[in-house]
Structure 1
Amino acid sequence: MSGMRARQSMTFPALQRAALRALAALTMLLATSVRSNFVFDDDPFQPVTQDETVAVGGVVTLTCNVKENDNSSLQWSNTAQQTLYFGEKRALRDNRIQLVKSTGTELIITISDVQLSDDGEYTCSIFTMPVRTARATVTVLAPAAPGVPGKPVITGFEDAIQEGGKVTLTCTSSGSKPPAKLHWYRDQEEIQGRPDVVESNPDEPTYTVTSELTLTVTRNDNNALIACAVDHPSIANGDKRTERPISVLFSPSVSIQPESDLPREGEKFFLQCVGNGNPEPTAFVWRRKDGELPPMAKVDDAFLHFESLNKSDNGIYECQADNGIGMGDVTHTLLVQDPTVMSTPLGVDHAVIGGVVAVIVFIMLCLLIVLGRYLIRHKGTYLTHEAKGSDDAPDADTAIINAEGGHSGMDDKKEYFI
């Protein structure tokens, strides 16, 4: 019996030690799990997003951030898992979606003219190992008042159109009752589209109206605003409209702008080739019609520089500009002026004009002096004679006669006093 008790007393401490070991292992496992969860929640590479709410026709901004980056790119995807932007690179041809900011730790995009079809869950991903993702739910609010047409949506602007080509644009407005009317505008001028197509919406007593516009574009249409406006009795403050600029690709028109209109021999001088096209021309070629370019002339892209002009530089120069769509060229005639010949006529003209003005002023001064002295002298003589006649005459008539007679009778009128 005593031996059995001894064995039992030895067994219990062993069981206690095993239980203590299991409890310690479980504690370490829980601590590891907690620590693992803590690290995951504070993962510097985990993208962070937020949900957004926007009304139909509005603009929604999607922002994705990470604390750190290992040179991996951030990516936004739409509800259909189509890539919208991968870093700075556009992946989906939808001009409603624009890039706002792209850095190693942040990717911000906007979606304009939001429609009900844009409602859903968007995904931001960073392609680390493993790939980390975050989701943002965009809730699109339908128009509050039933029967009021939504803001029109224009499609067909996905790509630029080459000059002379045709483009068909489609304008759609839904949710109106009675059906709305659509109008097309180019800038502020109304243009005629095809008749409206009206369709009833199956789940509600409203209508969707669609109109198409086909344009044959010219370079004058580049950057023109094409607008679609909704006309409906429920719209109190005018029409609802959507405006989109149209992009037209066209070959450049070229001109040459000289540094000055009177290039002089010995001076520095340049010709600049200016090309107006879409896209802007990036390649320029300079030629001289009557021979090779002068040895002192240097081509610098759109500029042709002359270090020191010489009469031998006279000639017809041609510039050709290329923008990938087409080429344009223009010529300019360079006539180098002799600086000595140009300055002499101007100097002579100024000297002659100055001399003539000086002579005229001198003559006028002399005439004024002579005329002044003449008037002063005659006025004094008249006053002296009149005074002498009046002193000796008993009346006015005698005074005038005496004044005209001069001094002939002065000796007869003398009186002597003894």
Structure 2
Amino acid sequence: MARNDALNWPDGAKMIGVLVAASILLQHGTWGQQVKVEGEVLSYPGQTVNLRCSFPDVTGVQLTMVSWLYEPKDGTRQNIAVLHPNHDPSYPDSPLKGRVSFTQNPPSLSSPSIQITGVQLTDEGKYICEYATYPGGNQQGITQLVMLAKPQNSATSVTVLAGAQPVVVARCTSANGRPPATIKWVTTADGNATMVSRAGSDNTVTVTSEYSLAPKSSDNGKDISCLVDHRTQAKTESIPLKLAVQYAPEVRIEGYDNNWYIGRTNAVLICQANGNPIPTSVTWKAVAGEMPDTVQITQNELRVLKVDESVNTTFVCEVKNGIGTSKELVAVFVREPSPDPSNAGVVAGAVIGSLLALLLVAALVAVLVTRSRRQQQGYRANGGSDMKTRIFGAGKKASKNGTGGGAGSGGIAGGNNNGPIYVYNESASHQGLGEKNNHHQPLTVGGRPEVGAVTPTAQDILLSSELDEAERRKFDEMDERYDHFPGGSSILQLRPHDQGDMIGDYLDDDMESQRDGSVISRTAVYV
């Protein structure tokens, strides 16, 4: 029944019970143990160690005897000290005889602590304080004596030859330590570590770790550190190293820019070489045989005082060290002389100046062409004639001013809109009829100037800079429509003329009879 109740305890109660039981076991070693001891004692070789033991509560218990036992790590238990109230302390034969004794004099059963002088590493192990009691029987407490030995830590790099097979490149040792040390490696090299331990005759341990890799020339000089952790050290001990990889020289030639032209001076080649051990000699050679006369050699430098055809060869740099010999070559191609920079500048300046001049000329031509087109636009006429005829009829304007006249007199009568003829010749030295009607004269009606009327001519209008292209196009379109206009209202018309007797032929062909008996001009301008 009690068992079932125990099984039904809440989980929290179960956990508390387990923790209490575990603490009792850790403190006393067994259920109901009343022996008080220290769980662990640390000591270095040569020191004196005190191992405490007591039985604080003797209520209802009769203490009859106390025994101290020693149990090595690899061995059996053996008595090292015995205390009986009716007898003197006894120290049986053991590895500790002569170095072990009770601390109190006379010793007491309630506090039978002991001390060990001149402890050795071999003294490490378990020490049991065991009471013989009545009626409880034997009860004991166990103390673990831990012997410490600070190790001697060291590390070295191993000089190796570059190769494809992994070899040991660094070794780290933590010697004669107790307990064993822990070793780690820190490096950028790509390798692996191994660790081995070896026990000493005095119960110490030596730990050795080796770092291995397939060494390359690029690994030479890389940093690698051995890190040692031990219980006797306040912090990790770091031992820095550098890898030592030996390799034959690695050679490269610098300075050739593929622009060695005839006449160039002080062209230089530098032979750079790395190696371990350091290269001992540098030799320049020419594949063609003898070195050109213009070449000077100073250690790893080859200088060409003046480039000529003899330098058109292959130069070889050969470097030696204790491991081997390596070489590098460069093929020199001699070019034609490069253009004179000053001439190039002159040519470039001339080209740029020519382009600018062409652009300026083009701009001037464009301006002149535009201005010429504006001046030459007007009514359409046949090409080749300088004559421009403007004939304006002033019928409407005359009628507004109250001025009239017969058809024969050139006035405006009824539906007859005949007006004066205005002729302007830009190139002729004299005008004929146009002399009386140049474009500077006012508009006339019936041969007389109209009162108060100063009318600009067609040329003034067409040659004016105020008339833009859009207005000119509208004017031309209106001219074409009026050429075919059938009505009898006011008309603006420009009629081309032929070469020859311009004035006479023009007037003879110009007049046209109308149905009402009047005669009007075909090229008259009716307003």
State the TM bucket, normalised to the shorter chain. Answer: 0.3 to 0.5
Of Structure 1 and Structure 2, the greater helix share is in 1
> Taking structure 2 as the reference length, what is the TM-score of the superposition?
0.37
Larger radius of gyration: 2
